[in-house]
Structures are given as C-alpha cells and as structure tokens.
Amino acid sequence: MRVLGVDPGLEKTGWGIIEVDGNRLSFVAAGTVITKRTDAGALRLKEIFDGLTAIVQHYQPHAAAVEEVFVNNNARSSLKLGQARGMALLVPALHGLDVAEYSATTIKKAVVGTGKAEKTQVSHMVKILLPRAILQTADTADALAVAICHAHTLQSSITRTKAALR
C-alpha cells in the first residue's frame, strides 16, 4: 500500500510517499510545494492545490494522512495555516482517498517513541526507518513522519482486527 503524508504550510507544504508491505516501509518520494510570500493568498492556495494534485496523480497513493494544526497565539497565522491544511485535506479526498489526521504529539510518539521529541530526533528516526529517504527540508522529514505514523496506525488496526477474528 502506498501512503501520502502531508505537513501543511502556506509557504512550504511538505509531502512524502512511502510504500507499506506488512511491517516493511520503503521510501518512494518526498518534496515540498513552495509558494511565494508576495503572491496573493488565493494564488498560494491554488499552488498548493495544484502541487498536491500533481503528486497524487503521479504517485497514486492508496491512503493519505495530514498533520493537524496546532493553535498558536497569532490568529492570523493560524488561519493561514488552516487554509493550507484545507488544501492538504481536500486534494486526496477529491481523489477518493481516506484522509487521516494526526496531532504532532501522536506523530512524534509513533516515529520516535515520545510525544515530546525534537524535530532533529524525528528527522533522525525517519532516516533510520527509511534509509533511502532524501530529506531535502524539515518539511519533507515531517511529511514522511506523518506517513510513517499512518502506516503504523493502519498496521495496528489490521493486527487488532485479526486478533478479534480468532
């Protein structure tokens, strides 16, 4: 199964694709959709939409996961981040994918083992779990961490279902 992970941001939206085969994870691709601060908000959202659409169409993932937005003190920044996140949720949904959402704490716990891990620890563990991964930016590492979290969640769900059927 192919999983798309997305770390939404208005300026930089990280994305990562992994292949899941049982407990085995393998790196497929990762990158960042970048928008210009000087562009109008609607144009930036369109760029995120178009970039993620091209990725979904090219890599044909079977599932998607998006990091939930944390609320900060700056309402304007939170709103802009929420709009970018809307594009990250909409694109896979329009392509018929189930889209899961995970908090940063849940992602860190799934990848590192603790919900209070630093970004460098997450990046380091992503590299260990996906040795062939090319981590161009922190956003790509975070997006791959989202995909890994979703893969682990799916695997746990399958294991629980099998146990219940016995």
Query: pLDDT per residue over 107-129, tens digit each?
Result: 999 999 999 999 999 999 999 99
Band (79; pLDDT cuts 50, 70, 90)? confident
Q: Does 50 qualify as catalytic in the annotation?
A: no
Band (158; pLDDT cuts 50, 70, 90)? low
Give me the catalytic one of 11, 39, 50, 67: 67
- Per the prediction, the chain carries an average pLDDT of 91
pTM: 0.92
Q: In terms of CATH architecture, what is 2-165?
A: 2-Layer Sandwich (3.30)
Q: Does 142 qualify as catalytic in the annotation?
A: no
- pLDDT exceeds cutoff 90 at 74: no
Question: In the structure encoding, which two tokens stand for residue 70, read together?
Answer: 């944390």
Give me the catalytic one of 7, 19, 47, 142: 7
Q: Which of 53, 56, 14 is nearest to 32 (CA)?
A: 14
The domain segmentation of the chain, as residue ranges, is: 2-165
Contacts of 8 (CB under 8 A, 6+ apart): 48, 66, 67, 69, 81, 84, 85, 87, 88
